[in-house]
A and B are shown apart, each in its own frame.
Chain A
Amino acid sequence: MADTVIHSTGPARVRSILDAVDLHQWLMRGMILLACLWMAVMVVLPLLQLLSKSLVDHDGAFVGLANFIHYFRTPALSMSLYNSLFVSVVTTAISVMLGFLYAYALTRTTIPGKAVFRGIALLPLFSPTLLNGITLVYLFGKKGLITTGFFGYFEKSAGITLAADIGLYGAVGIVIAEVFYVFPQAMLILSIALSMTDARLYEASDSLRASNVRTFLTVTIPGIKFGLMSATFVSFILCFTDFGAPKVVGGNYNVLATDIYKQVIGQQNFVMGATVSVVLLIPTVIAFLLDRISQRKQVALIAAKSVPLTPKRHPVRDGVFLAYCSIIALLLVAFLATAVYASLVRVWPYDLSLSLKNYNFRNMGGGGYPAFFNSIRMAFYSSVIGTVITFASAYLIEKSKGMFLLRQGAYFLSMLPLALPGLVIGLSYIFFFNQPTWALLGLEVRNPFNALYGTMAILVISNIVHFYTVSFLTATTALKQLDKEFEAVSESLGVPFYKTFFRVTVPVCMPAILEIGMYYFVNSMATLSAVIFLYSADIPLASVAVANMDDAGDVAPAAAMSVLIVLTNITARLLYGLMTRGVHQRTQAWTRPVST
């Protein structure tokens, strides 16, 4: 067919181009519809199922808001809402502040070793949040390194008492663990915001003889306003919905996420579990909407004439920031090192000789090495399939024309998963996928998705949905940098859009595509909250094994399994680094200035 297009001339050729354009348009529309449908089935329907579950009683009779009234009348339960809000606000304040200073050092100063500092700051992203809790127990628990003053080592050798009991179990422990978890995310968002600025503003401020403080308050802060808001909301949502850390170090300090687990797993009260899930959803959805509204007001900071800011040397400032970054980096490395050490100790705290015994996992809950390899498989599938789906959807929404409402709808649906806690996804997936039939207008309809229940597929889908939004935004950002002219030109030449997609769009966006793939992989490896409700007999998972072993009190093997997860993720990250370097050289040549 392609040949006929090229060889024919005159009006016939124009007509055939028009026909082709028409066909392509319809094809594109069909695929957008498909993308919408996919999000509707995987996000909206399960959520509706969850919501309806919170409005009925144990026997399925409609009771309106009675469950919510019961919830708020039970002091032990409503207290959790307050507790969750409290630890989330404190964590957010601390991590946004720490993250801002760190990001500032990386973007606006001339400290050496920025790449190393950035790499270290991302370490917590690679580990399950349970590990943060477990490590804290090894540091600050009753038999922890710090609590016992390194087992009295310094007291004996130097006469200094370094022992200190911080009363880990409770709000203190949760906040410390969550700060470790949230810090890298806040730092990443803020460093992007800080790197997008116009040097001319600073020149103007300088020539007006504004003081440094004044420049900071009137140029820097307003410039990153939206980044700051985003970092705040994202930190809040992450902390508010996390389940791993409070489970290990929460002690008797109840939060919503552990309440859901207790209701569902401990008391098998699904109705209350659904109710608490909805309560958990409310603040996250509010935070999400506020963030969306504020982003909408954002105008492009970078105009065509912008000049990128190159930080100037400033010995005192740089010295202070170097010290600050070193301390934080040291803490992060020491934290991980503690986990590795604890996983190698034979019997903490009685026999501190090292062995690989804890890496044996025999006669242990959770599934041992098969679970570990399942997790790698799952992360791999999630990464490949997730990247294809996410990038294709982002492309369709970003680059197609017409169907404005449908595209807006698809965009909103793509943003929504950010507000969904993993526990909510997991629980709603049980309700949705294990239902063999639906009652539709009095008719019994077979649930076509029922076969997915208990398979690898449902785990992969839950991961793709759970981590969809950030990947989608990465793809959209990359696509936006690509001029729409490409599509316009191809269309006028009668080149089908998929040809442009594979020949131009994909190669140009390769760095972003690889980043999405890596993001899916490391998160799927470490995640616990969604999959803990969904994994089945054949498919035990590493992160669930960590939770089960910790639950049974086998803390050292739990630490060992977490260390394996972290190592896998670091390997994936290094591979990604190597791949992007290769890809950069081949596909990004066009971004370099032409040499003459």
Chain B
Amino acid sequence: MSKIQEISTAVETGKSKLVPTLVQEALAEGNKATDILNAMINAMGVVGDKFSAGEIYVPEMLVAARAMQKGVEVLKPLLAGDGSVSLGLCIIGTVAGDLHDIGKNLVAIMIESAGFEVIDLGVDVPADKFIETIKAHPEVKIVACSGLLTTTMPAMQETVRAIRALGLTGFKIMVGGAPITAEFAAEIGADAYTPDAGAAAVKAKELVS
């Protein structure tokens, strides 16, 4: 098994302690940092697919993402200034009135693991806060709104409407959460809906490709 394959396997199985050493070894063997990063991103893609298929559960996905982060820390000095390795910026938050964070956190972790930079605005985020952050980061590629409660679906609608009213382009809006459907997403003017965190990462990549 090549070192790159070993890294992929270690990420997929969440071996946080092992990954930094393997990344160091891969670099020492002459592998490029970007190749190692892409291998880890692909490994997380496999993890996301398995999660979407119900083959693995949240902890397995979290520890895989954590393992990847350990590897990224080793690569960071080598990747600094290399804008080509990022898929762009994603701004994410749970909409106003909603205090639930697990779904939003999982999506943030998976989108980051897919190669995006992520600004996480937290929970109970008013539309104004999304807008302020979008204006401060005009390079944003994805805006992701999460909501768990039926009672905060109107807040999601209001957030999407307010963002659209800005008239800014260059980014896509994704929505998700337990009560959200593809139909609702289309109705409120979002660009995409995904049912789970693995699918969200896949969709985010599609939207910026």
Q: Do A and B bind each other?
A: no
